[in-house]
Structure 1
């Protein structure tokens, strides 16, 4: 078992994946008050360290942990943002704040691993110069880094969500091979983690397993003939890959904090309905019992946003299972 510090914690996608793999979270940090409300309702955080703004912390403020995990803000990197400033942006520039905290630690107090997540465009923005800067900062902090683009649909959730994951290993403790992490065919039936309720096995037909969880289907027991993922109902100019609809056998569009995601249903009439917050959380691998806890402290609008900003639990779990134990 290794100890974990959950920075830019959101609703704890990294945390849950790491805990399911047997590790223990000792602290968390996020300045989104609504996300913190959900986080505290979902997990037993009593006695854990908490920071409310990573940009104001000093190295001595942070407890020692074997793993620091963080999905730093992607707004300045994402293709959905027309004004992409990259790491020079105020939000995505939080990366520097976190790495400076690592640099300020004594060698024996640095984490053995840094687990970092962001949008795939981090690899390409500004012709790759920003990603080179990410790697240079890690090198200066004393870390060797490897990275891989992973798609959530290959890890048991019916959502196409490509993210780059960087695993950095403290050089003074020896380099260990971790990536690549191999997912499975996104169309295969599979169970990823025992004990995660409500979505252990997924139907191969995209999101239909999620939206038909109520007995008898959605139309008074008549069942469903066709379900197609839909995006951009409220932002037609911001569609992913220029598409509004996917085919019935494709996974859901990537969840975001801005777009309206839904499904087009033919049974027998054609209609579009929005995904419920619970369905959005399921698409990110969160069990229903944790969603129900978060629902007691936040409105639906916040729950949807939190799902769109989260790290997919199943992917975090798969990475965590590859980590050798830290040895100081």
Structure 2
């Protein structure tokens, strides 16, 4: 399938989709440092791109089978101000994307939408915002399914994110979720929001990226902060066991907030390379970004902002199978 990569960051969607055999035909990213990394990592010479989604016209976007996007989450995240999906200035960019789709003739609309965001999208404003998202997608012709997936099942990082797949009506697309092995669902449960959280360690087609499914645990073994250090924030001083998994990587703006680990009785913070690895990026991708002149501060930030590549790959492989089945 051909895909468009919106709010592209450093290209976590791009890499995961590409690993599943899909082709990027366009991308949009406004941050100049992320653009620098993206162009260093991916082969995008001659590929359509834009820097500001708000200035893009639907007529200039290449036709594609799938649009991928993780729209900004600062207004939704538990760590943010939680202005909400509909009233937050940045998160409302979701409607900029749906507006572009509205401007397309139905025959030119993507058959799939692949959307990622923080788990809090399900519950913020009493669930009204998530309902609004579903209504909006319904109005532009898409039926939706979703899963909350934890990156800890593919990489040593606890990172729960909601993934939403939109299916354009009339295109005979097939469901992607739940992730199954054979005819049974893999170790799933229903959470308090009545959505399905799937443990997909043994999922069919996962390849070498998926480790054996087992209980995940963030192992905190100490704290080096005090009432006078790190601004009195105990979270910043937490120390984790290398044998456990990492807490969720954040954008780590301002420095000093990177996860810390105990190695040979010495406490140190994770390196930028290690943070990229926790998001499933191969070392060659990190090296290309680093060699393009990105600072450690930017490399930390970019890791925290990205999607987890192997999670995207797994979903993209399911989409590939579904796409082949409908031909």
Query: TM-score normalised to the size of structure 2?
Result: 0.82
Structure 2 residues not aligned, in runs of 5+: 180-185, 187-197
When residues 312 and 235 of structure 1 are mapped into structure 2, their CA distance, relative to the original with a 3 A threshold, is farther
Deviation at 1:174, TM superposition (A): 2.6
Helix, strand or coil: the match of 2:3?
strand
**Who is 1:214 aligned against?**
none
When residues 35 and 238 of structure 1 are mapped into structure 2, their CA distance, relative to the original with a 3 A threshold, is farther
Q: Is the 8 A contact 2:40 2:289 kept in 1?
A: yes
Deviation at 1:261, TM superposition (A): 2.4
**Who is 1:264 aligned against?**
261
**Who is 1:35 aligned against?**
34
Deviations 1:119-170 (A, max 9, x none): 000000000010001101100110000001000011x200000000000000
Matching of residue 292 in structure 1 with residue 287 in structure 2: yes
Deviation at 1:321, TM superposition (A): 1.0
Q: Is the 8 A contact 2:111 2:167 kept in 1?
A: yes
Question: How many residue pairs end up in the alignment?
Answer: 298
Matches of 1:22 and 1:249, distance apart in 2: 33
Over the aligned positions, Cα root-mean-square deviation in angstroms equals: 3.2
Q: Is the 8 A contact 1:229 1:252 kept in 2?
A: no
Deviation at 1:263, TM superposition (A): 2.8
Helix, strand or coil: the match of 2:120?
helix
Structure 1 residues not aligned, in runs of 5+: 209-225
- 2:307 aligns with one of 295, 307, 311: 311
Matching of residue 159 in structure 1 with residue 153 in structure 2: no
Deviations 1:84-140 (A, max 9, x none): 333311111110000111111111110000000000000000000100011011001
Deviation at 1:264, TM superposition (A): 3.1
When residues 278 and 115 of structure 1 are mapped into structure 2, their CA distance, relative to the original with a 3 A threshold, is same
When residues 108 and 291 of structure 1 are mapped into structure 2, their CA distance, relative to the original with a 3 A threshold, is same
Matches of 1:308 and 1:70, distance apart in 2: 16
Equivalent residue runs for 1:1-328 within 5 Å = 2-154=1-153, 156-181=154-179, 182=186, 193-194=207-208, 234=230, 237=233, 239=235, 244-246=238-240, 249-258=243-252, 260-265=257-262, 267=264, 269=265, 271-297=266-292, 298-323=294-319, 324-325=322-323
